[in-house]
Amino acid sequence: MHKKWILLLLILALPLQAEARDKFRLILDWFPNADHVPLYVARDGGFFERQGLEIELLPPADPNDPLKLVAVGRAAFGINYQPNVIIARAEGLPVKSVGILVEHPLSSLAFLKSSGIRTPADLKGKRIGYSVQVLELALLKAIAGTAGLSESDYTTINVNFNLTASLLSGQVDAVMGAFWNYELAELELEGVPGDYFAVEDYGVPDYYELIVITNDAFLAENPGAVRRLVDGLQAAIDFSRAEPERALEIYFKANPEVRQELDRRAFHAVIGEFATTQTQSRAKWERFTAFALEQGLITKSIAADDLYRNP
């Protein structure tokens, strides 16, 4: 372990003064998984605590819940996706991105190597599974469009989040929305080689896969707490990148029920995609908003200032 991190952990282990910490809920986008490792490091490794925060991490009962719960103030913070924030804002939900967890897309079009799919042109005549209809079908349309294919050239099937199982069973030939660090690792553990198309390589603008969101009212009333949360998160990300095995140890202790080998592989695959800064790119927001309008995900353009804030 690097000396500077040993020193930091010793400092974090020192008793804190008996000062009240601000307590907030943060609702995850999905069940605890490798993409959330820095959040558990921030909570249990003392990074939030040193910022005067006590953060409760909550998995959602339904993956559609986080945006709504944050919008109405049931949770101060949430983890969500840049495209979903744009769509939600267009529908009138008062949510904004205030921080970054994963800087680039993890969502992909995944398939078995035995499928014969090598380029988007090979999607012609194929059955393609999806889970989130509006967004994932738009991403699929963009990928297929790079090969001149239209929606009539392939068949889509709602597999209801059973992405890996639907591939292994032969129900579909490919799945849209698979996280390349997670589902590909899952296939690998099953002994079945997989491959994928990264969305940003095939007609989709680069976007933030996982972001920290809050609602407009909370942001206006608690800008200091927001700043402290993203500062603590970035410090935890930096630690996780420098000391991955220690980060995994903290995460596994907090989540003993997870599939450790799967999450270990997924974490090492994604570690280079975690945020290097908490300063969000205006151009990145504007480009995906234009894409969302072009693809019919939203019906009117939205100003970048309404979508994100750099605290």
Contacts of 233 (CB under 8 A, 6+ apart): 38, 39, 42, 47, 99, 101, 212, 275, 278
- pLDDT of amino acid 165: 97
Q: Are residues 180 and 230 in the same domain?
A: no
- pLDDT of amino acid 242: 98
Q: Are residues 119 and 97 in the same domain?
A: no
- pLDDT of amino acid 5: 54
Q: Are residues 241 and 281 in the same domain?
A: yes
CATH code for position 275: 3.40.190.10
Q: Are residues 48 and 135 in the same domain?
A: no
Residue 150 belongs to a domain: yes
What is the torsional sign of CA 178, 182, 186, 188? Answer: positive
Q: Are residues 186 and 129 in the same domain?
A: yes
Q: Are residues 222 and 187 in the same domain?
A: no
Nearest by Cα to 107 from 171, 165, 163, 191 = 163
- pLDDT of amino acid 297: 97
Q: How many residues does the chain have?
A: 311
Q: Where are the beta strands (DSSP E) in 180-300?
A: 194-198, 210-215
| Distance from C-alpha of 187 to C-alpha of 179, rounded to nearest angstrom | 12
pTM summary value: 0.92
Residue 91 belongs to a domain: yes
- pLDDT of amino acid 307: 98
Give me the sheet containing 174-179, strands edge to edge.
Answer: 155-158, 127-130, 174-179, 107-112, 194-198
Q: Are residues 186 and 244 in the same domain?
A: no
Residue finishing a domain among 201, 236, 267: 201
List of the chain residues with pLDDT < 70: 1-19
Q: Are residues 55 and 196 in the same domain?
A: no
Residue 89 belongs to a domain: yes
Expressed as residue numbers, the domain containing 277 is: 3-10+21-103+208-306
| Distance from C-alpha of 110 to C-alpha of 107, rounded to nearest angstrom | 9
| Distance from C-alpha of 60 to C-alpha of 172, rounded to nearest angstrom | 28
Q: Are residues 48 and 166 in the same domain?
A: no
CA atoms within 13 A on the CB side of 190: 15
- pLDDT of amino acid 133: 83
Residue 16 belongs to a domain: no
Contacts of the segment 253-262: beta carbons below 8 A, 24+ positions apart: 253/44, 254/32, 254/40, 254/43, 254/44, 255/32, 255/40, 258/32, 258/33, 261/189, 262/34, 262/182, 262/185, 262/186, 262/189
Name the domain count of the chain. 2
Q: Are residues 219 and 76 in the same domain?
A: yes
| Helices first, then strands: H and E counts in the chain | 12, 10
| Distance from C-alpha of 298 to C-alpha of 248, rounded to nearest angstrom | 38
Q: Are residues 38 and 155 in the same domain?
A: no
Whole-angstrom CA distances from 298 to 66, 135, 160, 289, 307 are 20, 10, 23, 8, 13
Maximum C-alpha span of the chain:
65
Q: Are residues 88 and 214 in the same domain?
A: yes
- pLDDT of amino acid 63: 87
Q: In this structure, which amino acid lies at residue 103?
A: E
Residue 15 belongs to a domain: no
- pLDDT of amino acid 132: 84
Residue finishing a domain among 201, 222, 239: 201
Residue 311 belongs to a domain: no
Residue finishing a domain among 168, 201, 234: 201
Helix (H) or strand (E) holding 90: helix 82-90
Residue 294, both tokens: 């072009």
Residue 138 belongs to a domain: yes
Residue 295 belongs to a domain: yes
- pLDDT of amino acid 10: 46
